[in-house]
Structure 1
Amino acid sequence: MNSPILVTGASQRVGLALALELAEAGHTVVSASRSLSAHPAHPNILQFQADLCIKADRDALIEYLQQRYDGLRAIIHNASLWLDDGLDNLETMFRLHVEAPYHLNLALGEMLGRVEKADIIHVCDETSSRGSKGHIGYAATKAALQNMVLSFAEKYAPTVHVNGILPGLLILKQDGDEAYRQQTLKKALLEFEPGAGPLIETVKYLLASQYSTGSQVVINGGRHLKNRMI
């Protein structure tokens, strides 16, 4: 069966590294992002330009997948925006982190159901379970994305497995100075910049797992323990 993996937000950083890893493993990957690369990163990666905050763009993506493929092996909701607090930014993050995954999961459920074992993976954030006073809207919308793991896992069981990944820091900001680097790394028990590896490893585990659904995998280097009150 012709069943690709849909990865959102796969044009750069962690999303691109994930798409490349899946493509190298032999999967066909449909990369849905706001911007397209001039030169595709791998022949197994097919780019589809879409602003997932816009319903018409999502409808076009859904139609593209339904007309071109028999089924879907997986959907990986990686697209994310880390914006400052404010009503306009809250609306944007809600559309990307909540409305878009909700829409795509519902619309593409039938295609996922045609595959013997399909997966939906929500890339949430470690702040989605603890909050963030500096980015309240971001944490809140990621918490909604995390909650939807439970609902869709129940809705689509047993054929489609639905899980969440809660990463902490993976890649430092490119424009950060040394003080920012040291301060940020010290927030975790494991004080180094891991790169995309932990998320890729977790995605591969979930795609292979036969007995995980409705679960949340935390990959934050022990950040939740670093400043725990005793």
Structure 2
Amino acid sequence: MDNRTVVVTGGTRGVGAGIARAFAEAGDHVVTCARRPPENPVKGTEFIPLDLRDRAAVAAFFAALPRLDVLVNNVGGTPYRRLTDAGAERHARVVELNLIAPLTASLAAHEHLRRTRGSIVMIGSVSGGRPSPGSAAYGAAKAGLQSLARSMAVEWAPDIRVNTLVVGMVRTERSDLHYGGEDGLAAVSRTVPLERLAEPADVGAAAVFLASDAAAYISGASLHVHGGGERPAFLDAATANNEKWKGK
């Protein structure tokens, strides 16, 4: 895997930084891009400022690369916002960042990846496969991202492999703000079968795998990185055999 060039969009913090670090530790030349520089740069990576919503800038960024072997479309995110709390334009911006930006980057990277017979890893979310109250536009965009990846895997085969990581809850430097401190994190962790949130390194390891020779025959797939999913609420609500379902 040495001497490959890997681009990780939004790779400056949180999950993106974990992905960038995993590829750097695997011996790859890693380029991260985001609007703002990293506060804590990942050792062994190069940062180039880029707004993934600026299509002309994205095209220029990829055209300037001498080589590209792997593109990780990690850029994305959303604030908590119920549908009726904002107009359609604000929700459209969420869709643009989480769906259109990965499509834009993939199209700009296509010729590089075709020449190197490279791969694309989309960073999806469990929000794309279940109701996402408070982040409905985000969930819809992530559902679209998985669909896009499957179609792209067919259209661009056999030259380029395209897969999706369906990521669950991840503990990052900002998780305590989202989940209400350590007590909130502990409570949320108990809803995961593996009894912990993912670490960015867990997502990074999965991304490295999908981009490796070990996954050479995997394309159009969705790999869940969610610790076993979410414990169904009815198990705790039901009274019959409640202790048995809790594993006690």
Verify same fold: TM over 0.5: yes
Residues 92-107 of structure 1 mapped to structure 2, 5 A cutoff: 92-107=93-108
Mapped to 2, the partners of 1:45 and 1:53 lie a distance apart of 22
Moved more, 89-98 or 205-214: 89-98
Question: RMSD of the alignment, in Å?
Answer: 2.2
Q: Does the alignment pair 1:124 with 2:128?
A: no
Aligned length: 224
- How far the C-alpha of 1:100 sits from its partner, in A, is 1.2
Per the alignment, residue 76 of structure 2 pairs with 80
Q: Give the AA of the match of 1:147.
A: S
Per the alignment, residue 133 of structure 1 pairs with 133
Per the alignment, residue 227 of structure 1 pairs with 233
Mapped to 2, the partners of 1:194 and 1:103 lie a distance apart of 28
Mapped to 2, the partners of 1:211 and 1:225 lie a distance apart of 32
Per the alignment, residue 185 of structure 1 pairs with 189
- How far the C-alpha of 1:110 sits from its partner, in A, is 1.1
Q: Give the AA of the match of 2:176.
A: Q
Mapped to 1, the partners of 2:150 and 2:184 lie a distance apart of 36
| Bigger CA radius of gyration | 2
Asked if 1 retains the 8 angstrom alpha-carbon contact of 2:32 and 2:46, the reply is yes
Q: Does the alignment pair 1:152 with 2:152?
A: yes
| SS at 1:174 equivalent | helix
Per the alignment, residue 28 of structure 1 pairs with 29
Q: Give the AA of the match of 1:165.
A: L
- Which of 193, 200, 204 is matched with 1:196 structurally? 200
Per the alignment, residue 47 of structure 1 pairs with 47
Q: Give the AA of the match of 1:75.
A: L
- How far the C-alpha of 1:197 sits from its partner, in A, is 2.6
Identity %: 25
Mapped to 1, the partners of 2:108 and 2:193 lie a distance apart of 41
Per the alignment, residue 210 of structure 1 pairs with 216
Asked if 2 retains the 8 angstrom alpha-carbon contact of 1:98 and 1:144, the reply is yes
Mapped to 2, the partners of 1:191 and 1:130 lie a distance apart of 20
Asked if 2 retains the 8 angstrom alpha-carbon contact of 1:168 and 1:220, the reply is yes
Mapped to 2, the partners of 1:152 and 1:52 lie a distance apart of 19
Asked if 2 retains the 8 angstrom alpha-carbon contact of 1:58 and 1:100, the reply is no
Structure 2: unaligned runs, 5 residues or longer = 239-248
| SS at 2:51 equivalent | coil
- Which of 167, 176, 181 is matched with 1:174 structurally? 176
Moved more, 117-126 or 197-206: 197-206
TM-score normalised by L of structure 2: 0.82
Asked if 2 retains the 8 angstrom alpha-carbon contact of 1:206 and 1:212, the reply is yes
Per the alignment, residue 64 of structure 1 pairs with 64
Deviations 1:46-96 (A, max 9, x none): 21101112223323322322xxx1x31110011111222433432222121
| SS at 1:32 equivalent | strand
Asked if 2 retains the 8 angstrom alpha-carbon contact of 1:189 and 1:226, the reply is no
Mapped to 2, the partners of 1:41 and 1:202 lie a distance apart of 18
Asked if 2 retains the 8 angstrom alpha-carbon contact of 1:33 and 1:50, the reply is yes
Mapped to 1, the partners of 2:41 and 2:185 lie a distance apart of 31
Q: Give the AA of the match of 1:211.
A: Y
Moved more, 164-173 or 2-11: 2-11
